[in-house]
Structure 1
Amino acid sequence: MEAVMAEILPPVTDPVLLKQIDLLAKRHRAAGGVVMHLIGYIGGSAESLLGKLPAPVRSGLEGATERALSGAMVAAEHSRGIVADRPDWMNRTLTAAMGAAGGAGGLGSSLAELPFTVTMLLRAIQGIAAEHGFDPASEEVRVECLRVFASAGPLDDDDGMDLSFLAARTTITGPSLKSLVAKVAPRLSAVLGQKLAAQAAPVLGAVAGAAVNYSFTSYYQEIARVHFGLKRLARDSGADEGVLREELVARLTKK
């Protein structure tokens, strides 16, 4: 019944809403530009980066990502009662410093840096959720923050298929949150594998690590602003969020 009702909802015709959706689509398209320029500078392509990692690292990346993401959920939430949300530029600066430390020691130190960067990224996403009027402590918003991580990633040309916009509504419980972490981990592990490979590029070392982390942080902050911007638009206008999402996806997939 719900699916049938969704099909007969009228399209968005309010010019103010349509303009806001256009701005969100423009922001989404621009989000990955800095990362792609960086990868071009390092050399190779997004598709070839994962192949540059040693086989043991590639095979263990998904499990390591799931552990890092689960730990980040706890650490980021606990830190909210201790450290105030930071502006975007500060989050980028801090993660860049982490990337520099990781890149300076090669792949080994980059792997050690990974869970700290994931925690910082998640905390930044939570801060943007709060900025848009949503409570990061609620289970529902914690899931929405994970959905930002489930986006295609800064190196994929897959805007219209981002899980952050197309994920089905679920009942929010502890087990379902854990299940969502398991679903996000494979997609995020591919993204983080690309990050590790770029970060461990020969010669560039700490400079590449800082630049990669800065770019990835910028990307996920922008995607979070699109995601929670859409949710706030639905909340404030009273429009159906699913219909607004379809309008956004239509703009992202339009060639």
Structure 2
Amino acid sequence: MNEDTPPALKLTSAAMQELSEAKEILEHQGLAERLTELIGAPITASLKLLPDSAERIIYSAVEKSLQKGLDLAVTSLGKEDGLIKKPRLMSHKVLAGLSGAAGGSLGGLTVAAELPISTVLILRSVADIARSQGEDLSQLEPRLACLEVLALGPAPAAAEKINGDSAEEGEDADIGYLAVRIAMGKQISDATKYVAKHGLVNRAAPPLVQLLNMIGKRFGLVVSEKMAAQAIPVIGAVGGALVNTYFIGHFQDIARAHFTIRRLEREFGTAVVKEAYRRLVVSGE
């Protein structure tokens, strides 16, 4: 056994409760459900009204946002206010709301200008949450794990609109939190090694391109749900602010769950926590 690997321990009842709460967020509480409650109508109906050009707009906005996110993760994420232990969730939500108000007042297609701002706010908030769960943000891997949060959570309802398949049949069907983490594990590792050696001189390097493509695929689906809500004419500035607040709140919840699981893995061992998580998923508890 590697000296850095903690011994396998049995999860305590308190740890199991934390894991169960994290699983509920990561497997069941998607943005579409929250927006449906806010709007008062199924978000899937709004998704079907998006123009065909929406996919191109979303792709461009997500690509730009993730490039900014990668810059932030590599160069400065977690360096600000390094002594702060309590996440500043509300202040980030307020700023995201102000950003969304502009988008809502001008229509959902302003996502190209507004999304990079929201993404930076999300990542700063995620970094606060990561730090509060004991992550060492002086290291590159935990900072890239903050970027990874954008790809986690339940399969977005937008998969049906973008892919033309049902959520169950499409290749973007919800394969679960652990499966996404496993799929992204090599990408995070390769990107960490590459950036540590070369920095961001060559952004077209395969490890970086593959990482951002994998994150962008799922993040773009969530963004399309947000865009569908903001495109509704009656939403306006106030509704746009609320949608953006829900948007950042969604990723704050995902981050809390994700970094809680990472903390439990450090405390009890990765294999033990993953096996307990699988049992919770199978049992539906």
Q: TM-score range by the shorter chain?
A: 0.7 to 0.9
Q: Which residue of 2 aligns with 1:244?
A: 273
Give, in whole Å, the separation in 2 of the partners of 1:112 and 1:47: 24
Map 1:68-147; keep pairs closer than 5 Å.
68-75=65-72, 77-78=75-76, 81=79, 87-147=88-148
Residue 70 to residue 202, structure 1, CA distance change in 2 (3 Å): same
Q: Aligned with 1:135: secondary structure?
A: coil
Give, in whole Å, the separation in 2 of the partners of 1:169 and 1:27: 21
Residues 1:18 and 2:16 are matched in the alignment: yes
2:248 to 203, 212, 217: 217
Give, in whole Å, the separation in 1 of the partners of 2:254 and 2:154: 9
1:192 to 216, 223, 242: 223
Residues 1:201 and 2:223 are matched in the alignment: no
Map 1:228-239; keep pairs closer than 5 Å.
228-235=259-266, 237=267, 239=268
Count of matched residue pairs: 244
Residue 79 to residue 204, structure 1, CA distance change in 2 (3 Å): same
Report the CA distance between 1:116 and its aligned residue. Answer: 0.6
Residue 205 to residue 182, structure 1, CA distance change in 2 (3 Å): same
1:45 to 42, 45, 50: 42
Q: Is the 8 A contact 1:42 1:201 kept in 2?
A: no
Give, in whole Å, the separation in 2 of the partners of 1:253 and 1:109: 41
Deviations 1:92-112 (A, max 9, x none): 111011111111111343331
Residue 153 to residue 192, structure 1, CA distance change in 2 (3 Å): farther
Identity %: 27
Q: Is the 8 A contact 1:201 1:208 kept in 2?
A: no
Report the CA distance between 1:29 and its aligned residue. Answer: 6.2
Q: Is the 8 A contact 1:50 1:190 kept in 2?
A: no
Residues 1:56 and 2:53 are matched in the alignment: yes
Residue 136 to residue 13, structure 1, CA distance change in 2 (3 Å): closer
Give, in whole Å, the separation in 2 of the partners of 1:90 and 1:253: 37
Amino acid at match of 1:90: S
Give, in whole Å, the separation in 1 of the partners of 2:9 and 2:80: 44
RMSD: 3.1
Report the CA distance between 1:128 and its aligned residue. Answer: 1.2
Residue 124 to residue 43, structure 1, CA distance change in 2 (3 Å): same
Give, in whole Å, the separation in 2 of the partners of 1:90 and 1:154: 28
Report the CA distance between 1:130 and its aligned residue. Answer: 1.6
Report the CA distance between 1:27 and its aligned residue. Answer: 5.0
Give the alignment's TM-score, normalised by structure 1. Answer: 0.80
Residue 60 to residue 99, structure 1, CA distance change in 2 (3 Å): closer
Instruction: Identify the range of structure 1 (139-148 vs 195-204) with the bigger mean alpha-carbon deviation.
Output: 139-148
Instruction: Identify the range of structure 1 (132-141 vs 226-235) with the bigger mean alpha-carbon deviation.
Output: 132-141
Q: Is the 8 A contact 1:24 1:248 kept in 2?
A: no
Report the CA distance between 1:206 and its aligned residue. Answer: 1.0
Deviations 1:191-241 (A, max 9, x none): 101101101211121122111111121111111111111111221x2x222
Q: Is the 8 A contact 2:39 2:229 kept in 1?
A: yes
Amino acid at match of 2:52: A
Q: Which residue of 2 aligns with 1:3?
A: none
Q: Aligned with 1:19: secondary structure?
A: helix
Q: Is the 8 A contact 2:35 2:243 kept in 1?
A: yes
Gaps of 5+ in 1: 1-8
Deviations 1:41-85 (A, max 9, x none): 425434343332221221342243122111123246547556676
Gaps of 5+ in 2: 1-6, 158-166, 168-172, 196-204
Q: Is the 8 A contact 1:154 1:216 kept in 2?
A: no
